[in-house]
Chains A and B, each alone.
Chain A
Amino acid sequence: DAGVTQTPRHEVAEKGQTIILKCEPVSGHNDLFWYRQTKIQGLELLSYFRSKSLMEDGGAFKDRFKAEMLNSSFSTLKIQPTEPKDSAVYLCASSLVPGLNTGQLYFGEGSKLTVL
């Protein structure tokens, strides 16, 4: 079975550009998460979808970050406009049924974003 697939693996953007990161969750998984990972803050939840419905829109990340789930097998994370402080690894994860305390997340390999 295919795991979580993220593209691109690396992205370099100029300040002010728009970038779109893509994610394909594990087939059959109902829940999809976007996390940002930095050395200082660790793993921060950006967005969460349950059965394609947006359940968490990221609080402090709302203004320039927008995640969408176009169908059950594809999600995008748009950052617009990018700022140097957005440089991080963006991780997508999926889960079968986290609400039943299984909690196991399956992560992709991440998209490393560098904003100049």
Chain B
Amino acid sequence: GDSVTQKQGQVTLSEDDFLFINCTYSTTTYPTLFWYVQYPGQGPQLLLKVTTANNKGISRGFEATYDKGTTSFHLQKASVQESDSAVYFCALDTNAYKVIFGKGTHLHVLP
């Protein structure tokens, strides 16, 4: 079945460090891929989206590239700030109604 895997449960960085959050997916379709971000006390909100038509998504300094060969959709940011501390979810939409979420990666950025 369709699935999304985020192996990093928690990432701790210092301000200005490079961020890399790993996400891989499995599906037989040509999906749309998403990164959602959840700040404390809030619901998840869309960070960026990538479809098969455009391979890269960029938003608020974050970027993710859709790699069909390795079925990966890693999230990167060149220089993190303390305000980026949140939980990041990779998600998959296989053109059905169901959006499948990864378990989430808790990013903690130290000042």
Q: Residues on A close to B: CB < 8 A? A: 4, 31, 41-43, 45, 48, 50, 55-56, 91, 93, 98-99, 101-110
B60 lies within 8 A of chain A by Cβ:
no
A101 CB contact (under 8 Å) in B44, B89, B95: B95
Chain B interfacial residues counted at CB < 8 A = 24
Q: A56, B98: Cβ atoms under 8 Å?
A: yes
Cβ contacts under 8 Å, B41 to chain A? 109
A103 CB contact (under 8 Å) in B34, B44, B45, B103: B34
Q: A110, B93: Cβ atoms under 8 Å?
A: no
**Beyond A103-B49, A104-B49, A107-B45, is A43–B101 a contact (Cβ under 8 Å)?**
yes
| Closest chain B CB from A91 CB (angstroms) | 5
Cβ contacts under 8 Å, A50 to chain B? 97
Interface of B is mostly: loop
Closest B residue, CB atoms, query A93: B43
- The answer for the CA separation of A82 and B87 in the assembled complex, in Å, is 28
Closest A residue, CB atoms, query B42: A109
B22 lies within 8 A of chain A by Cβ:
no
Q: A98, B104: Cβ atoms under 8 Å?
A: no
Listed from nearest, the 4 A-B pairs whose CB atoms lie closest are A107-B43, A103-B93, A42-B103, A43-B101
16 contacts between A and B (CB under 8 A): A4-B43, A42-B103, A43-B44, A48-B97, A55-B97, A98-B93, A99-B96, A99-B97, A101-B31, A104-B46, A105-B99, A106-B45, A107-B44, A109-B43, A110-B42, A110-B43
| Closest chain A CB from B93 CB (angstroms) | 3
B32 lies within 8 A of chain A by Cβ:
yes
Cβ contacts under 8 Å, B36 to chain A? 105
| Closest chain A CB from B18 CB (angstroms) | 25
- The answer for the CA separation of A56 and B96 in the assembled complex, in Å, is 12
Cβ contacts under 8 Å, A99 to chain B? 95-97
